[in-house]
Amino acid sequence: MRDMLKAASPSISRRDCIKLVGGTALAVGMGGLLGGCSSENGTDQEEPTTQDSTTLRVAMMGSTTDTLDPATFSTLLPLAIALNVYDSLILLRNGIVENQLAERIVPNEDATAWTVTLREGVYYHNGDPVTAEDALYSLQYAGTSPMYASFYSNVDWAGSTVEDERTFVLRLLSPQATFWDEVVSAVTFVFPKGSAGDDFSQDIGSGPFKLSSFSPDTGAVLLKNEEYWGGAPAIDTVEIIPITDPETRYAALTTGEVDYAHQISTTNAATLEGQTGFAVFNGGIENSSSFRFCLNASMAPFDDPDVRRAFKMVVDRQTMCDTIFRSAGVVGNDVLGQGMPGYNDSLEQRGYDFDEAKRILSEKGVAEISITTAETTTGVNDSAEMLAQKLEEAGVSVTIIEEDPTTLFSDMNTIYGAQVFATYLINRPYIASAVMYTGGSSPYNFSQWKDEEYDALLSQATSTVDEAERADILNQAQARLWAEGGDIVWGYCADLSGQVDTLDGIEITLSVPLFAHAAFSE
């Protein structure tokens, strides 16, 4: 397994690394440069510098292609800007959907129409009132864009109407009692009608912070909204700095460049916990990433359910979690949404049975396999290597195909043509993930497992208004997915971020930090 920490290069300072990573270095390839930005075992660390306690400096994954257009977000950095500058109709906090800008969201009897009432007295940063017309416009802009259209494919935009200043009705093409749970993973933030005309270069929201400046090379500066309806933030200024590599984000924190390093590695987190002046933010399984292997059920050998079962048994989940995630890991059980509302806790935990897996693979004549992987987040490539080691012990020859994470999703044929695809997802409630990532009609069903019984259960659950009845159907769907599906959800790794120990109050939604309640202690 490769080392997660690389030796420092004396020719490149950390400050220079930060500037390069945030700028054009991404376009010419990051491997060699970023290796020179890391510290040897994290030993050459310094105390955080003292600074004005009303300025919060944040390092996040960014890209030189980032824009503020919500239809083209490519990293978490512009999403973080949006979630702190705009109000969202709803937010997912610790696995629970909460109203934010929406005061009430009420379905009709068959869940074909949803009436949304906004909070009273909410104003944009320029003093204009936030209206229902703006909210419907914002949803439609996102919901008809290529990135999010699949989330909103059941919406009848032509039939949706604004009832008054604070109320609009979102009409659906067919009953969908799970509509808001499913779309919670898409954007629901609200911006003024017509904002798309200026490519969002003059972002105006109603959120706790105002956008002062943005550049994909240098990041963003946010200023607190003194008139925020939820109370003015304690932080005056937030500077969000784009740093692609987690090792470099960690270095920026420990050398005093930033106060908060978003998504650091488990190795760095373990080192940071022993350092005076720093702390580790652990988001728990509610704010975690689910790691999985997608077994391509559309081709041999994974069109055979016995082979899929053997692969599920050959994965030593506990050892993988302990090795890759350390104390931040939770063993997975092949269904997304673990630890979230709606997860079927009655599912039997999938066990490790190397001998039985080896027997099946030998019996089925599985002699060689390829695993496609890309380091889209820390640990993905290591998981592929650990799976390959187990398979080779079982007599299966393995070829690992390592793709460039910055271009992986530009050609989906690479993924759909893979025999085994190692990847990860942000953990969301099962129903918010099921339609998007599983099932015959899913646009991102990377395992390509299709099952009429499973699809029928999902369809039935979607149109069932009674919550208890719907929960029972979804439990049946999860049991079917667990038994027959093509995904090995082997573990969850909590989002780990590093921060100075005087910082408190940062919250997380969809792995993105919210700064409204952040503050520095004396």
pLDDT at res. 239: 98
Residue 24 pLDDT > 80: no
pLDDT band of residue 97 (cuts 50, 70, 90) is: confident
The larger pLDDT score, comparing residue 450 to residue 64, is at 450
The larger pLDDT score, comparing residue 146 to residue 369, is at 369
pLDDT band of residue 436 (cuts 50, 70, 90) is: confident
Helix-strand-coil percent breakdown of the chain, rounded to 5? 30, 25, 45
pLDDT at res. 53: 52
The larger pLDDT score, comparing residue 495 to residue 26, is at 495
pLDDT band of residue 41 (cuts 50, 70, 90) is: very low
> What does the domain layout of the chain look like in residue ranges?
14-80+207-283+496-520, 87-196, 286-494
Q: Which of 3-7, 43-47, 338-342, 388-392 has the lowest mean pLDDT?
A: 3-7
Residue 42 contacts residue 254 (beta carbons within 8 Å): yes
Residue 507 contacts residue 84 (beta carbons within 8 Å): no
Angle formed at CA 214 by CA 230 and CA 247, multiple of 5 degrees: 95
SS3 for 175?
Answer: coil
Distance from C-alpha of 268 to C-alpha of 38, rounded to nearest angstrom: 11
Q: What percent of the chain has pLDDT over 70?
A: 89
pLDDT band of residue 468 (cuts 50, 70, 90) is: very high
pLDDT at res. 197: 67
CB contact set of 18 (below 8 Å; sequence gap of 6+): 37, 59, 241, 243, 248, 252, 257
Distance from C-alpha of 318 to C-alpha of 329, rounded to nearest angstrom: 9
Residue 360 pLDDT > 50: yes
Structure tokens given for 361? 């693979």
pLDDT at res. 147: 82
Question: Would you mind telling me the total number of residues written for the chain in this entry?
Answer: 522
E strand spans, 54-156: 55-60, 87-88, 90-93, 96-99, 102-107, 113-118
Angle formed at CA 61 by CA 57 and CA 62, multiple of 5 degrees: 95
Q: Which amino acid is at 408?
A: L
Which pLDDT tens digit goes with each residue over 157-179? 999 999 999 999 999 999 999 99
pTM: 0.78
Which pLDDT tens digit goes with each residue over 364-402? 999 999 999 998 888 999 999 999 999 999 999 999 999
DSSP track, 340-360: STT--TTSPPPPP-HHHHHHH
Average pLDDT score over residue span 332-355: 96
Average pLDDT score over residue span 121-143: 96
CA-wise closest residue to 487 among 448, 436, 431: 448
Residue 7 pLDDT > 50: no
Average pLDDT score over residue span 98-104: 96
At what angle are helices 354-363 and 380-393 packed, to 10 degrees? 70
Average pLDDT score over residue span 2-18: 30
Q: Which of 45-54, 194-203, 477-486 has the lowest mean pLDDT?
A: 45-54
Average pLDDT score over residue span 303-313: 98
SS3 for 108?
Answer: coil
What is the assigned CATH class of domain 286-494?
alpha beta
Structure tokens given for 318? 């506990």
Same fold, 87-196 and 286-494: no
Strand partners, 515: none
pLDDT at res. 134: 97
Distance from C-alpha of 136 to C-alpha of 116, rounded to nearest angstrom: 10
Residue 36 pLDDT > 80: no
Q: What is the CA radius of gyration of the chain?
A: 23
Q: What percent of the chain has pLDDT over 90?
A: 70
368: left (phi over 0), alpha (psi -120 to 50) or beta: beta
Residue 3 pLDDT > 60: no
Residue 20 pLDDT > 80: no
CB contact set of 459 (below 8 Å; sequence gap of 6+): none
- Tell me if the domain spanning 14-80+207-283+496-520 has CATH number 3.40.190.10: yes
Three-state SS sequence of 374-407: CCCCCCHHHHHHHHHHHHHHCCCEEEEEECCCCC
CA-wise closest residue to 339 among 428, 458, 263: 428
CA-wise closest residue to 439 among 428, 450, 429: 450
CA 30 to chain centre: 22
Classify residue 349 as exposed, middle or buried by CB count within 10 Å of its CB (0-12, 13-18, 19+): exposed
The larger pLDDT score, comparing residue 28 to residue 217, is at 217
Which pLDDT tens digit goes with each residue over 230-255? 999 999 999 999 998 889 999 999 99
Q: Which amino acid is at 457?
A: L
* Cβ atoms within 10 Å of 466's Cβ, excluding its own: 10
H/E element, 179: helix 179-183
DSSP single-letter state for residue 123: B
Average pLDDT score over residue span 83-107: 92
At residue 58, what are phi and psi to the nearest 5 degrees? -125, 130
Domain 87-196 sits in CATH at 3.90.76.10
Average pLDDT score over residue span 199-213: 88
Residue 286 pLDDT > 60: yes
Residue 218 pLDDT > 90: yes
pLDDT at res. 32: 25
H/E element, 454: helix 452-462
pLDDT at res. 423: 97
Q: What's the mean pLDDT when you consider all of the chain?
A: 87
pLDDT at res. 348: 97
The larger pLDDT score, comparing residue 198 to residue 466, is at 466
Strand pairing class (219-224; 503-504): unpaired
pLDDT at res. 155: 96
DSSP track, 298-351: TSTTTTSHHHHHHHHHH--HHHHIIIIIGGGEEE--SSS-TTSTT--TTSPPPP
